[in-house]
Homo-oligomer: A and B are copies of this chain.
Amino acid sequence: MVIGKVVGTLVADQKDPKLIGLKLLLVRQLDLEAKETSTYVVAADSVGAGVGEVVLYATGSSARQTFFTENKPVDATIMAIVDTWEVAGQVRYLKDTPLAVGEW
C-alpha cells in the first residue's frame, strides 16, 4: 500500500454493472513527507473515507480482497484512514492538527 490524500470525487452513470454501488474517489499519492505527488488513482472505498482525508490504498489484485470489492473490476481500493505516521522518530502527519498535509 501507499499513502494518499482523497482530493476529489467522480461521477460515471454509464459503467460496468459490477461497479454499481461502489463509491469512487480521486486519490493523489503522498510521499513520506506528506507532500502530494503527480500519481493518482480512482479508488473504490472500503472504509467510508471523504475528501480531504489521508488514507492507505492498495493496488492490483489486492484491491479485490475486501468484502466490498471481491470479484469487482477495481484495481485500487482505500483500505484505511491514516491517523499518524512517523519517519526516523519524527511525526510527519497527524490527523486533525494544524500541521496539515504539505505544510511541514
List A residues at the B interface (Cβ < 8 Å).
1-3, 7-19, 24, 26, 28, 31-32, 38, 40-43, 46-48, 56, 58-67, 71-77, 79-88, 92
Q: A8-B85, A73-B79 are in contact. List 15 more A-B contacts (CB 8 A).
A: A1-B24, A1-B76, A8-B87, A10-B56, A11-B85, A12-B81, A12-B82, A13-B81, A16-B46, A16-B66, A17-B67, A26-B85, A46-B73, A64-B65, A65-B74
Q: Which of B12, B60, B66, B82 contacts A56 (CB 8 A)?
A: B12
One complex includes copies of this chain to the number of: 5
Residues on the B chain within 8 Å of A65, using CB:
18, 64, 71-74
Q: Pick the contact of A42: B2, B10, B47 (CB < 8 A).
A: B2
